[in-house]
Structure 1
């Protein structure tokens, strides 16, 4: 089967013009079919503060009320998404921007209230690949922001790592899907203060050991949950590290495998 690369970029890359341009230089050179996923939380927070709208975070997760959802939609689906698409066009990489509502591509349900009410936050129920396959066959790169919808007219803020993981899973029956989480570090680090302490391979067995010994930082755990979810649902490979790994598999980074 043909390889499809699903690539998610982190906020540090998005917020740094030099880093974003460097990433897009690498991404544009990927010749296989590909999909790009981005968030933009820090930009949304900055705009909210400028507009005197309170930003609520609980355990590192954003509470998305109606005002916050408007800000997120403007920033993610508007400003950031279209800038990235324009920059890809400048690199002769034909691209098209998407939220989950466009083409009914990603359907979510509002997260049920348990101990915390996260507001308009979506948990993905299904990914519809039909329209995206048409674009991929035409060598057009879909660029997804982290906004989905519930098929009843409601947009929902959705974790970008999860969007990438679910896209990779949805295409796994038709492509050999590879999932890449690109951010500013070399990979998953054994010591957060040492950028060279990359754990190059994490599998189900040694992951449990790493958890028990509290080696992995808490901030990395949700990403790794998405990684293993993908690996156990037919995604061929998951890679975490700097964007150069897209073109150079021998670059030091972290590979997640069963």
Structure 2
């Protein structure tokens, strides 16, 4: 994923709300969210190149999602796929903090990343660039290709619009609107992450259209206080146009 906004116990009726965009090279094959045949408890999209995933849920109420950290100097050719970390978090049985500490012990083997994990009771994050593991208090959090809540324009705007959308639940249309925002940030607000000025512009909105790269899918997760989950995912084609949609509904053992 390249933009994740999480509402953790930020709404009285929905303890977990997630709105996220996955940005990836257009040529990299993937399939939309589905229940995996080789891990039947896991609901997630799948990267067909390395076999892992970028975000998913388990029937038991676990949640995990990962973003890359944008810094060309940290590129690690031949490093293992970070998507396997998400899969292992979802299929594990330990609590969120224990899992994140296990990941932190090996994270130097991977290209830089941020990993959000919830066991249904706790939500935490590991940032491989800082080495930190921390549990998150109730609130709204934004994560892109830097550390949590870095004040990039798209992160700040997405958090603001997400907070407004929470107040409109169960009407969820506003969440898709914030994920489809393709307005680039003004040049004087662009971050400097080591890529060219053109790429900083292309990567600055929530919804990305760039040469050979872009937002491949958008996801909305709603878990209510009774443990009922709605997982909606929209897939976009190489022009950023609607291609398909899937919706999964199920009950977890977790309640708010």
Please give the TM-score of this superposition, normalised by the length of structure 2: 0.28
Larger strand proportion, structure 1 or 2?
A: 2
Q: Kindly name which structure, 1 or 2, has the bigger radius of gyration based on alpha carbons.
A: 1
